[in-house]
Structure 1
Amino acid sequence: MSGWTLEPVRYDHPEVALLVDAVQAEYVRRYGTGDDTVLTPADFAAGRGVFLLGCLDGVPVAMGGWRSRDAERGEPGLADGDAELKRMHVVAAAQRRGLARLLLAELEASAAAAGRRRVVLETGTEQPEAIALYLSSGYAPTEKFGLYRFEASSRCLAKNLGEPLPG
């Protein structure tokens, strides 16, 4: 897409902080509360993850990242080689242009290049457009994990990198 750029940045980048505030406000609007998942720049450090800032004609409009997750932490639903998607968001003014799909594809490619074998994510029933994006991109329901695994509105999805999930 003309004018679209993706740049790896630190999670504490000032433009990312503004977009995180925007997505947290969206979570409050949809769920009544923000996301309490603790994320740090170290989660997305080289070799352990990546965080991308998407700009359209030089204006920050999207973000998303992945962090390495493995089974050694003993958390249900995670396996060695997992990459967990975090903070995928496109601002309202830039939605419905395919930017989320472009961002997702780049995140998947970078996770695969880093040796990750599967991408996992947690979203919620109040984000039907996100669920539709992930399902249409080859994700399938998986065992719940994470902070919200006991919430009825939580939906966890996964996609094997390089091969489809068994059907």
Structure 2
Amino acid sequence: MTSVAQPPPPSSELTVIHVTVADPRVEPLLRELGNEYSARYGKDAHAEMARYPDEEFTAPYGGVLLLLLERGRPVAGGAFRRYDETTAELKRIWTHSAHRRRGLARRVVAELEREASARGYRRIYLTTGPRQPEARGLYLVTGYTPLFDTEADPETIGPLPFEKHLPAEACTARTRKAADQ
């Protein structure tokens, strides 16, 4: 039986909030994310996720964690961090397993792009694992360019890198600030 994508709930039911990684509402999403990565790759992914200090996802480093809340409960989220002067790197994009196939991941990516652009980034970079075909598909349908041979076996590539250039007019806040210095 094929699963049919449900439309996202009306926006009045979803709220985007900016929180820190330490916010207790983040923990269930990161725990489930780590558990799923561990199951897919056969090793403890929690240590890999801890490789990036929480402060990389907060100002002034250019990162912020977003959660979509449905009636006060976290259902999806993601983060970005500074990759280089003009590039933000998306990390930890996740939708709770009970809320998938509703367009929430697309909304998270769009919100992260919007926030990164508002902070002056002109490019987004990200990687996903070779055993995450749904993530690969998400990035392809949301306009990301694969930086790898899409015909190759993903298992032979390792992490699959993608990029997306943000519209120049959307990246004004940071570039204006840099010009003033």
Query: TM class by shorter-chain length?
Result: 0.7 to 0.9
Whether contact under 8 Å (1:11, 1:40) holds in the other structure is no
Structure 1 residue runs of 5 or longer lacking an equivalent are: 71-79, 144-150
Residue 38 (structure 2) pairs with residue 28 (structure 1)? yes
3-state SS of paired residue (1:133): helix
d(CA) in 2 for partners of 1:45, 1:19: 18
Bigger helix fraction: 2
Residue 96 (structure 2) pairs with residue 91 (structure 1)? yes
- Residues 1-167 of structure 1 mapped to structure 2, 5 A cutoff: 1-2=10-11, 3-33=13-43, 34=45, 36-37=48-49, 38-47=51-60, 48-70=62-84, 80-142=85-147, 152-162=157-167
TM-align CA RMSD:
1.8
CA deviations on 1:96-138 (whole Å, 9 max, x unpaired) are 1111111110100100110001111110121111110101111
Q: What TM-score do you get using the length of structure 2 for normalisation?
A: 0.76
3-state SS of paired residue (1:138): coil
Deviation at 1:45, TM superposition (A): 1.6
d(CA) in 2 for partners of 1:39, 1:154: 16
Q: Residue 73 of structure 1 corresponds to which residue in structure 2?
A: none
CA deviations on 1:57-91 (whole Å, 9 max, x unpaired) are 22111110101111xxxxxxxxx311000100001
Read off the aligned partner of 2:144 and give its amino acid letter.
Answer: Y
Deviation at 1:49, TM superposition (A): 1.4
Deviation at 1:157, TM superposition (A): 0.5
Deviation at 1:11, TM superposition (A): 0.9
Q: What TM-score do you get using the length of structure 1 for normalisation?
A: 0.82
Deviation at 1:152, TM superposition (A): 3.1
d(CA) in 2 for partners of 1:57, 1:127: 29
Larger Rg: 2
Read off the aligned partner of 1:63 and give its amino acid letter.
Answer: G
d(CA) in 1 for partners of 2:123, 2:20: 23
Read off the aligned partner of 2:110 and give its amino acid letter.
Answer: A
Structure 2 residue runs of 5 or longer lacking an equivalent are: 1-9, 149-155, 169-181
